[in-house]
Structures are given as structure tokens and as C-alpha cells.
Structure 1
Amino acid sequence: MFIERLWRSLKYECVYLHAFETGSELRAGLAGWITHYNGQRPHSALAGRTPDEAYHDVPTPSGPGLTPDQMANSNAVRMAA
């Protein structure tokens, strides 16, 4: 099922939206989309993390919009108080 969703997303978010004219354009477009999919696009099945974060075991932020650095700083402030 995961692979089916990956291919569906790839088709609808990349291939169908762009009129690639050459194989090299298609390759570059797919590479860019896969980079975005793995590194920037949050996934609900991964608790809002990207596949890169899940693979490298980056902790999930405890609040909306917090980066791991912000989360560490807020934890340090709470512990100091």
C-alpha cells in the first residue's frame, strides 16, 4: 500500500503537473520531487515527520511549528526554571 501511495503522489504532484519534453527534464523533475518528498514533506503516517527524519530518528517536535533546535531551547529554559 505504501508504494501505491508513493506512485500516486508522484504522478499527481509531479508528472501530471509538468509537461516534461525530454528524458533529462523528466529525470531532473523526478529527482527534485523525490528530494522534496523525502526531506521536506511531512507524512501523517510518520507522525508529521519527513521520511529523512524518521530514517535518521530525529525526534518529533512536541508543538506545532517547533524545530528540534527550538524544542531543545524551550526544554532547557523549562529545566532551568
Structure 2
Amino acid sequence: RVLAQVEVTFSNSMIEAFWRSLKHSWIFLHTLDNFTALGRLIEFYVTAHNEVMPHSAFEGQTPDEMYFGTGGAVPAELASARKAAREERMKTNRAVACSVCFAEADSSALLLQRPRARMP
């Protein structure tokens, strides 16, 4: 194995990940007829990447929101939305029961209601 850039304190990994994402998520999915089409696709993706697509490393903020400092409320809003969605899912799941669950609940209730025989 060869170790590259042993004493280098910076890395290209972030831009390499961006290019990989651009290629696999966008360019490879479209027909590239000419350089103009390629330029439009890249421009659209870069704009969407910076302005629209939230990133988990930024706690749901876009790169533009991080850079300009305009997305400070986003993490709290997402946490609140996650909590509300979880509560709604729990409420919905508790309200729904299948026939097997009803049968088990009925048999459990019958067992609890049945009088027990006493030993003489």
C-alpha cells in the first residue's frame, strides 16, 4: 500500500465527494448531446446543491444558509417537525389494530374475566 500526501494538512475529499455526487446523481442520468447541455446540467446542479438541497453535516441547512448565516432556525424547526411526526405516527399506529390483535386482546380479556376454581 502506498500512502499519499503524508504531510499534507488539507484534503480534496470534500470536492471529490461533490463531483461524485454530481456525476452519479445528475450527469449520468441525462443525455449529454453537447457541451452546452453539459454546462446547463452542471449549472442547475450546483445551484440546487447550494440553495435547495439540505445537508446532514449542516444539520439540515443548505450550504448557502451556512455561508450567509441565514439558516440558524432550521435545526430547531427540523427537531420540532421530527417530534411532531413521531407523535402523529404513534397516535396513528395506536388507533389501528388488526384482527389478530383484536383476537388476542379479546382472549386476554376473557382470561382475566374468567373466575378461577378454588381448591377444596
| 8 Å Cα contact 1:47/1:60 also seen in 2 | no
- TM-score of the superposition, structure 1-length normalised? 0.74
- TM-score of the superposition, structure 2-length normalised? 0.51
| 8 Å Cα contact 1:38/1:50 also seen in 2 | yes
- Unpaired runs of 5+ in structure 2? 1-12, 81-120
Give 3-state SS (helix, strand or coil) of 2:18's partner.
helix
State the percentage of identical aligned residues: 33
Alignment match of 1:3 (pick from 4, 10, 15)? 15
Deviation sequence 1:8-67 (CA, Å, 0-9, x none)? 11001111100110100100111001100000000111111100000001113212298x
Give 3-state SS (helix, strand or coil) of 1:63's partner.
helix
* Structure 1: distance between partners of 2:39 and 2:50: 16
Alignment match of 1:64 (pick from 56, 78, 87)? 78
Give 3-state SS (helix, strand or coil) of 2:32's partner.
coil
Would the alpha carbon gap of residues 12 and 51 (structure 1) be closer, same or farther in structure 2, given more than 3 Å must change? same
* RMSD of equivalent CA atoms: 1.7
Q: Which runs of 4+ in 1 moved over 6 A?
A: none
- Unpaired runs of 5+ in structure 1? 67-81
The number of aligned residues is 66
Is the radius of gyration larger for structure 1 or structure 2?
A: 2
